[in-house]
Structures are given as structure tokens and as C-alpha cells.
Structure 1
Amino acid sequence: MPVSAQEALRITRVLEAELDKRQPSIKLWNDHFVGRHNLEWASDRFRQAFGGLFADFSDNWCEVVCSAPAERLTPLGFRFGTGDDSDPATADKDAQRIWQSSNMDAWARVAHTEAMVKARAFVLVWVEDPDSGDDEPEITVEDATQCIVAYEPGSRRRRVAALKRWDGEDGYTYATLYLPDEIWKWRRSSSLSGLVLPAALTSGWQPRGDDPEQFRIDNPLKRVPMVELRNRPRLIDDPSPEHANVIPLQGAANKLLVDMLTASEGGAFPARWGAGIDLPKDPLTGQEIDDPELWRLSVSKMLRASNPQAKFGNFEAADLRNFVSGITLVTEHISALSRTPPTYFMGKVENVAADALTASEAGLTSKCAEKTAFMGEDWEEVMRLAFLVKGDKVRGNNPLAETIWRDVAYRTEAQHIDAVLKKKALGVPWRQLMEDAGYTPTQIDRMETMLEADANRAARALAFGTPGGEDVPEGEPEGALV
């Protein structure tokens, strides 16, 4: 039911306070994903010795851990079992058109990556151009630093409110509150003479614009039009990013690599020594000249001594393999904890059987299949909202919606086609086989049309012969069978 402006403002402030609490964690997770790591394990002695020499150094495995599952999650289309005469086995063509008109073939991948990195991603569904009178829906992916969704107490599905807040380039911060029955639009000053001020020092939220119709509008969907994609959802605890338990190990890997680099600078090259060497003397003072340049060796210099008892030698270089062993151990732990195949952490793969590679990916495949189950529900809700925008209440309230995913397991082309052929022998229908083969609904429709055209062409060839044979029936253009 509609709320007053005062109540809408109260809800906005409550959601904004919760959104602000999430910012430090989201920044930490995102920094580790993009490789902005601070050397938190470095000692004070190390910092004094090397200062900021390695301030920007990172051997970033967090990006690998987050991208590995995200790159395997690809929605291909949607089915709607409507209960009428439509075929529930085929992908919904209207859903496919809406999906592609919003460029979601590409942006769904971004949404999955954002969810892996920041624990959440958000998808907003609204009218593409409200002023045009057209009801074409628009689907956009929103960032976790700008959006938050509130749920009904005791429910993890029923959304009661959503907020999107962002900074404009005109010195104002904007916010839009989405409720089931209405939408409220706010703004407040966020800068003074070009200086960005904390929210506590700025004025409160004010109606956006002078027109009351722009400040508050009815929500014809009767549903909050923002959907939250949660990564690793829990019953009570908040969702978590994919690399949450990898971040401490990432710090250990960075420290070991920096230690190896500093050891290579100071001890990896064999230091030389000399004994019984007569230093040259200054002819004026008679004192020995201890010039370091005399002992700086290169390919064009050599050491010599007038004393026949002089000796030369060198110390053994530091063995850096101990660091390599430690780094390898850390990456193995990262692989085990995140269920990322070891091949993702190796520079090369040698003498590994195909079955062993498949077994090493079992954990990642299982994890991705679990993600399709949860995120599939979220994408289905997105498509229901899109149909509600179009006024289609049948599909907009359909609980039988289903997301069609590309296979999350990696196989060679030979393995993939062999599996499809074996399914065919079991009697699996042709369209399902094509989905299992990885084709999109649009490609399958095109192939089906081509198969029908080939069948019609073959039937005409059998019935009327080839050109130059029997007469072509009246109405058929000559050479039509060529």
C-alpha cells in the first residue's frame, strides 16, 4: 500500500545506513580482485629497508578464483510452462528478444563477475523510455556499492524495498527508492566549491525536481523492480565473495614472492672475496687507496694481485628454491579452498591424462552447477518483471519459469559430441540435444528452419526429379530445385 513522504524518507535513510555499512568490505574485496594488495605481512624492518619499492606489487590469485566460476555461467534463454497450448519444451522467443534487446548476453557475465567479487550484484527492470508511452522493458546491471534490497522479515524472497544511490556530476547525490506500489526520487547536495563532503555534513534528502509527478510515481508492477543476485547465499549469514577465504593466503603468497625478490637482490648472485691483496697506494700520501670501483667487476675487467700468496674466491648464491616450494604450497591451498583446478595456477601442463584433468575440475564444475540453481531463480524473477512491464501477467506471475544454462563443464569437442550422440541413442529429443550441444535458442530456431527447408527441397526433388527431367509444376520457377 502507498506510504507517506515522511515514511518513504525514513525507509530511504534506513537502507542508506545499511548500504554505508557494506562499503568497507566491498572495497576490500574489490581491491583484492583488481590486485591492489597492501603487504600486510611485511615487518617494520622490511618497510624501513625497502620503503615503497614493492608498494604496488601483487601476484594476484584472487582474480583467478573469482573469474574461474564466473566465466562458466552463461544463460542461454528461458522457458515458461504456461499451461496453455504453447510448447514448454522450447525457449520463449519473447524472453529471448527482451534479453538481447537489453544486451544481456554480455552484461549477464558482468553481473556474475560482480557477484563473485562483491558478494552481490543487482539487476533493475524498468521501462526503457517512460516518456514514449512504449512498454518495452529495459534490464540493467547495477553495482553493489550503489544498491541494496530489503526483504520481508522471515523471508529471503519477498522484496519490500530497494534503494539505488549514486553521485551525479552536478554536485548532487541522487537516490531512488523502489517500493511495491510507488517509486520515490530524491537528491541532496554532495559538494561545495568542488569539495566532496561527508553525508553527515550535507543537507538531507530533498524531492528531486519541482514537479510532484517526477518526485513520486506509481509502480504499476506491484513488485519491487530490483533483483539481488547473491553469491554463496546462507540462511542467516550474509552472502560472501568467492575469494573471501583466499585473501589471507593471497597475503602470504605476496610476502613469499617479495622475500624471494629481495633475496635475489642481495644473495642470489655469488659474492666474491679476496685475501692477501696489496691495495694500491697514493703516490703523494703513501696511504692505501680503497676505491670500490677497483673491485666492481664486469665482462671487461679482471682482478690481479702482485702478491703471489693472494687468493680469490666466491660465496655460494642463495638457493631460491625454498621460496618456490613455499609459494607452491600456498597456491595449492588456494586451489583446495576455492575448488579452483590446479591447472589454473600452473604455467604449463605436462604428461597429465585427460581423465585426471576432468577429475581436477570436478569441484569447480559442482560449484558452478550449484550457482546456476540459485542464480537461475534470480534471472527467472528478472524475466517475470520484464513481462510485467509489458503487461503480460501470465508469464509475469508464472512460477514454472526456467533458466536455460550453457553446460558448466569443460569438455573437448569430441567428448561433447560423443555425449550428445549417446543421449540421442536414449531417445532424447532433437531440441534438447542441441541445447546440450551448447547452441543458443536463436541458433536452434535457425537450424530448425534450415532443416525444414532441406526436407522440403529433398521432397520436391523426389517428387519432380531434377531440372531437365520432368516438367516443373505450374507456379514453380524454373531452376527452383538448384
Structure 2
Amino acid sequence: MAVTAQEALRITSVLEQELDRRQASITLWNDIYKGSQNLGFASERFKAAFGGLFKGFSDNWSEVVCDAPAERLCPVGFRFGTGDEKDPPAADKDAQRIWQSSNMDAWARVAHTECSVKSRSFVLVWAEDPDADQVEPEITVEDATQCIVAYEPGSRRKRKAALKRFDGDDGFEYSTLYLRDELWKWRRTRSPSGLHLPSSLSLSRWEPRGDRPDQQRIDNPLKRVPMVELRNRPRLTDDPTPEHKQVIPLQIGTTKLIADLLTASEAGAFPARWGTGIDLPKDPLTGQEIDDPELWRLAVNKMLRASNKDAKFGNFEAADLSNFVAGVNLLTEHISALSRTPPTYFMGKIQNVSADALTAAEAGLASKCGIKTTFLGEDWEEVMRLAFLVRGDEKRGLNPLAETIWRDVEYRTEAQHIDAILKKKALGVPWRQLMEDAGYTPTQIDRMERMLEADAERAATALAFKPPGGEDFTGVPDGAVDAGAGDEVLVP
């Protein structure tokens, strides 16, 4: 149902306020991921002594925690079934073409990483030229600091509205409100400082983006909000959370301990030397002892000498840094356990670890990624439905029996993988399913299938070929007549 410009502005304002509320958390999570956080546990004495010496230092494990699941989530195709087909549906070639034309092989990985870091990412489906003869959908990944999706009351699936807000390079800030039946486009003057201000503090108000009415309101032929929200670790009533939220305090503590270790190595890791009963040289004019620091700067080509026979030399014990190492190891073990990231991701080297132990260590991450494919698969299926609606294909655009095809989230050696495939083949698993389990994309499987058909045709041609004076594939000599079993074969 169409709304008035005043109602559209009201919806824009409500969504913008919620988007402003999220900015601080998203910025913090992103800074932690990039390793640009402060030393949160540093004391005032530490700050007074070292100032900004360790300002840019970070022993960043949050990036590992976020990237570990994101790098295993790889959609490779889509299926659309009818529920009553005799043959199982194959990967949809039109969906693959749409996916490839929007470069989603690469950008889907970005969407998963952004979702893992910022708790949300967004995917917009629209047509670059909706008036073209052949409308092609364009799928773009959007940032959580710029977009928000609102749902119907009591629903986490039915999208009611969406907003995208972004800065232009012409001194204006732009926004687009997406509703089921229409789109509203706005702009306003940016703050003089160039910084984004919350909507409640902005001195300017949204106004129509262009001079013509058709530049402000656009009909939405999809009859659906064309923006889909990808949520990390979705909950029923709570907001989604980033992958590294629960380990942020441990991450800051690890950075602090590493900084302390470096400080201790500078101050006390080298054994301090001492000397007693040493006669210092005296000034001939004043008779005062001369305490020249250069006398005590030891080097490879220097030695200490004392005229007093009772002089003694020695050194203090160096600071023991193993306590810091133990603390860092403890925190990284907790980060690994809480995030279900395999301990091998935190080790610089691996020794005496069996293949079964490595598989067991990755079981938690593989299970977590499997759960993520369930939720994210539903979101990508909705994205592909919207893409077909853009093309005017309602059969697939409204099909609830869509399925996302994922690459295997579990890492195995090639020998283990192929051995498992051969055992599945012995159980009678069809060839195409075996190829999917082997990790090939639908495009690669189609190509291999055509290659197998071509090989079979060449083999049949080779068997049917009869060289001059030779025998054909039936085994009957040239010029002979096969009279059947038990009959005499006559050769003229």
C-alpha cells in the first residue's frame, strides 16, 4: 500500500534513529577486529611511563576468530524444486548466471566476513536499468553502518521496510527508503565538519533528492522489500552478535600482557651488574671522586679493572618472562575454547599431533559453520528469489523450495576426502552428488559431464572404426556373413 511523503519521512526517521543507535557498537567491534583497540587494562602509571609507545600495538586474535568461520562459508549454487518432480532438481543455471554476473563468488565472502565482524551485513537486489528490454538483476553487498531492515511486529522474516544512508561526494548525504510498493529517495546537506551526526543533531532535514517527482518516489514492481539482512548468531529476542564479542576482554588482556612482556624485557631481561669496593678516580683540583658513566659502559672490547684488592663484581638475575608467556597462553586457550576456534589456529608450529586429533580439534568449528549455513542459506535463497522477481520470473521468484548449495565446511586431506567419496560410491550414491561432495561447483560438474559424454562418444567411434583389411568390433571377418549361432559362416 502506497504511503504519503510525510509518512515516508516518518518511517525514514524511525529507521535512522535505530541505525544511529547501532553505530557505536559496530565501530567498536570493527576496531577490535582491525586490532586498533586501546590497552584497556593498562594502569595510569603505565600510561604515564610509556605514553603512546604501545598505542598501535596489538596481538590481534579477534581477526582469526572472525575469519575462521567466514572463510569456510562458500555458496556454490542454487536449486529450485517443485516438490513433485520425478528427478531431483539440478543446480539452476540461470541462478548461477545471475550470481556470476554480480561477482558474488567474491562478494559473498565479504558479506560473510562483515556479518561475522559487525553482527550484520546486508544484500540489496535491484536492477541497474529497470526500463531495459531485458532486465538483469544486480546484487550488491551493503555495510551495517549504512543499512537497516525493519520487520513486521512479531516476525523476524517478513520485511516491512529498509533504509540505506550514505555520503555523497558533492556535499550531500543521501538515503533511500525501501518499502514493498515503492522507494523514496532523499538527500540533505552534510555537516560542515564532514562528520556524520545523529539524525537528532543534524541541522538539515531530508528533502526530495531531485527536482522532478519521479526522482523522489519510484514504484517497486517486486512487491517485496529488496534488501535482505544477513545475521550472525541470530536470536529470538536479542540482537545478533559478532563472532568475537565474547572474547573481546580476553583479546584486550592478551595485548596488555604482551605489552608488559616487552616492557619487562626492556627493563629487566638483561642482568644488571654491580660492583663494590671500587676506587673511583679523583679530580686533581677538587679531590672529588669522578663518577663517569662511560667507565661502566661494558662492551665486547672492554673489561672492568679495580685497584682495590677487596673490590667485588657481580650481576643480578634477569627478569623471568615465562610468567607472561604462561598468561598469554592461558588467555589464547580460553579464546580458542569460547569461540570454538581450533587451537591449531593459535599455534606457531604443530608437533606430534595425529590426524584424528586435528579432526577432533576442528569438530567445534565445523559444527558451528554447519549451523551458519542453515541460517545464511535461507537468506541467500531469498536474495535469489528477489533476483528472479527482478527478471519477472515469478515461478522461481515465489518458489519456497529453493536450496543453497554450499561447499563442504570441513577441512580434510585429499586422501581422506577421496576415500570417503569412493565409499559413498560403493553405497550407490549418484555421480553428481559424489561430485558435489567432492567440492566441485555446479558449473564444474556440468563441464565434467559434457567431457564424459564426449569421451564416451569418442570411445564408441573408436570401437566402430574398421581399418582396411581388418576386423570390425563384432569380431566377424571382412566379407563374412554372420548366419547366427550354430550356422556355418561362409566366406566367398
- Tell me, yes or no, whether TM beats 0.5: yes
**Do residues 28 (structure 1) and 28 (structure 2) align?**
yes
**Do residues 265 (structure 1) and 266 (structure 2) align?**
yes
Letter matched to residue 392 of structure 2:
G
Structure 1 residues 297 and 86: alpha-carbon distance in aligned structure 2, compared to 1, 3 A threshold: farther
Distance in 2 (CA, whole Å) between partners of 1:265 and 1:325 is 19
Distance in 1 (CA, whole Å) between partners of 2:64 and 2:439 is 24
* Displacement after TM superposition at 1:85 (Å): 6.2
Distance in 1 (CA, whole Å) between partners of 2:407 and 2:318 is 52
Equivalent runs, 1:170-189 vs 2, <5 Å: 170-189=170-189
Quote the residue 1:475 is aligned against.
none
Quote the residue 1:238 is aligned against.
239
Distance in 1 (CA, whole Å) between partners of 2:117 and 2:331 is 21
- Normalised to the residue count of structure 1, the TM-score between the two structures is 0.95
Equivalent runs, 1:411-450 vs 2, <5 Å: 411-450=412-451
What is the SS of the residue equivalent to 1:63?
Answer: helix
Distance in 2 (CA, whole Å) between partners of 1:48 and 1:129 is 60
What is the SS of the residue equivalent to 2:141?
Answer: strand
**Do residues 217 (structure 1) and 245 (structure 2) align?**
no
Structure 1 residues 202 and 301: alpha-carbon distance in aligned structure 2, compared to 1, 3 A threshold: same
* Displacement after TM superposition at 1:88 (Å): 3.9
Quote the residue 1:478 is aligned against.
none
Distance in 1 (CA, whole Å) between partners of 2:133 and 2:469 is 58
Distance in 1 (CA, whole Å) between partners of 2:336 and 2:252 is 15
Distance in 2 (CA, whole Å) between partners of 1:466 and 1:228 is 66
Quote the residue 1:160 is aligned against.
160
Structure 1 residues 74 and 468: alpha-carbon distance in aligned structure 2, compared to 1, 3 A threshold: farther
Distance in 1 (CA, whole Å) between partners of 2:110 and 2:151 is 24
Structure 1 residues 61 and 351: alpha-carbon distance in aligned structure 2, compared to 1, 3 A threshold: same
- Asked if the contact 2:275/2:314 (under 8 Å) is kept, the reply is yes
- Asked if the contact 1:80/1:88 (under 8 Å) is kept, the reply is no
What is the SS of the residue equivalent to 1:117?
Answer: helix
**Do residues 291 (structure 1) and 292 (structure 2) align?**
yes
**Consecutive unaligned residues in structure 2, runs of 5 or more:** 473-492
What is the SS of the residue equivalent to 2:246?
Answer: coil
- Asked if the contact 1:464/1:470 (under 8 Å) is kept, the reply is no
What is the SS of the residue equivalent to 2:387?
Answer: helix
Quote the residue 1:363 is aligned against.
364
| Root mean square deviation, CA, Å | 1.6
Distance in 1 (CA, whole Å) between partners of 2:453 and 2:76 is 23
* Displacement after TM superposition at 1:201 (Å): 3.5
The CA deviation string for residues 178-207 of structure 1, in whole angstroms up to 9 with x for no partner, is 000000000000044x65473423210000
Quote the residue 1:327 is aligned against.
328
Distance in 2 (CA, whole Å) between partners of 1:127 and 1:450 is 36
* Displacement after TM superposition at 1:423 (Å): 0.6
Distance in 2 (CA, whole Å) between partners of 1:263 and 1:226 is 52
Quote the residue 1:56 is aligned against.
56
Equivalent runs, 1:114-125 vs 2, <5 Å: 114-125=114-125
**Do residues 280 (structure 1) and 317 (structure 2) align?**
no
**More deviation in 194-203 or 152-161?**
194-203
What is the SS of the residue equivalent to 1:340?
Answer: coil
**More deviation in 217-226 or 126-135?**
126-135
- Asked if the contact 1:82/1:395 (under 8 Å) is kept, the reply is no
Which structure has the greater CA radius of gyration? 2
Distance in 1 (CA, whole Å) between partners of 2:153 and 2:164 is 21
Distance in 1 (CA, whole Å) between partners of 2:160 and 2:202 is 29
Letter matched to residue 429 of structure 2:
V
Quote the residue 1:81 is aligned against.
81
Percent identity of paired positions between Structure 1 and Structure 2: 78
Letter matched to residue 26 of structure 1:
I
Structure 1 residues 297 and 435: alpha-carbon distance in aligned structure 2, compared to 1, 3 A threshold: same
Structure 1 residues 468 and 297: alpha-carbon distance in aligned structure 2, compared to 1, 3 A threshold: farther
- Asked if the contact 1:127/1:389 (under 8 Å) is kept, the reply is yes
Quote the residue 1:476 is aligned against.
none
